[in-house]
Amino acid sequence: MADPRPRRPARPREEVFATARAAIAEHGLAKLTMAGLGKQLQMSAGHLLYYFGSKDQLLLETLRWSEDQLGARRREALADHTLDPWQRLDAYLRLYLPEGAGDPRWILWVEVWGRSPASAEIRQGQQEIEAPWQADLVALIEEGTATGRFTPGPAADRAAQIRALLDGLAVPVAIGLPDAHRVTALTQATAVTGILLRT
């Protein structure tokens, strides 16, 4: 016998991820419950767990979705060869750094980093999500070096140094520490990358 109750259609994954990102940014993963998220989406907690398995997996997949969106913008900016490598590097820095305190994308990163030590799955996912940022920066540095715009040197090492600098500048801005602001972080990042790469 058919169930006479109308079935709600499953929410599109985009909506699930957007809602999860906003909820995590506002309250943190610790306070997020699958039941609460399901209520916002008019879905059952069981349905969410069926698709994601755990809050950690939901966090990782939400971060992956968030970074995929930004990745398209990053690839477009770096592919614009009407700009020289310095201008494209500036675009990279601007995309990397948080927009300000509570930036949802960066709050996801903070949550993921906090869980990585205890979870090989999270660490593996984190590395996969970070890899395109590193690869794109390496390619840009190699191009800038080949054209004489950047000083010669190991591109992968310099890209890792720049990303470590950006992460260090980004976290205080994202979590809203006093005197940590996007404009200041961008100025500092520009100055240090100039020292690393300037011919």
pLDDT of 160 over the 60 cut: yes
pLDDT of 49 over the 90 cut: no
Q: What is the largest CA-CA distance in the chain?
A: 76
Query: For 171-185, what is the mean pLDDT?
Result: 97
What percentage of the chain carries pLDDT values higher than 70?
Answer: 94
- pLDDT tens digit string along 140-159? 999 999 999 999 999 999 99
For position 197, what pLDDT does the model report?
97
Q: Which of 1-15, 70-84, 169-183 has the lowest mean pLDDT?
A: 1-15
Report yes or no: 80 and 151 within 8 Å, Cβ to Cβ: no
pLDDT of 4 over the 80 cut: no
Report yes or no: 56 and 115 within 8 Å, Cβ to Cβ: yes
- φ/ψ (deg, to 5) at 174: -65, -40
pLDDT of 8 over the 60 cut: no
Helix ranges restricted to H, 53-98: 55-78, 85-96
The span from the CA of 38 to the CA of 36, in Å, is: 5
The letter for the amino acid at 54 is: S
Confidence of residue 6 (pLDDT cuts 50, 70, 90): very low
User: What domains can you pick out in the chain, each with its CATH number?
Assistant: 13-197 (1.10.357.10)
For position 106, what pLDDT does the model report?
96
Handedness of CA 136, 172, 34, 49 (dihedral sign): positive
Task: Burial-class residue 95 by CB neighbours within 10 Å (0-12, 13-18, 19+).
Answer: middle
For position 51, what pLDDT does the model report?
80
CA distances from 14 to 7, 24, 78, 122 (A): 20, 15, 25, 21
pLDDT of 27 over the 90 cut: no
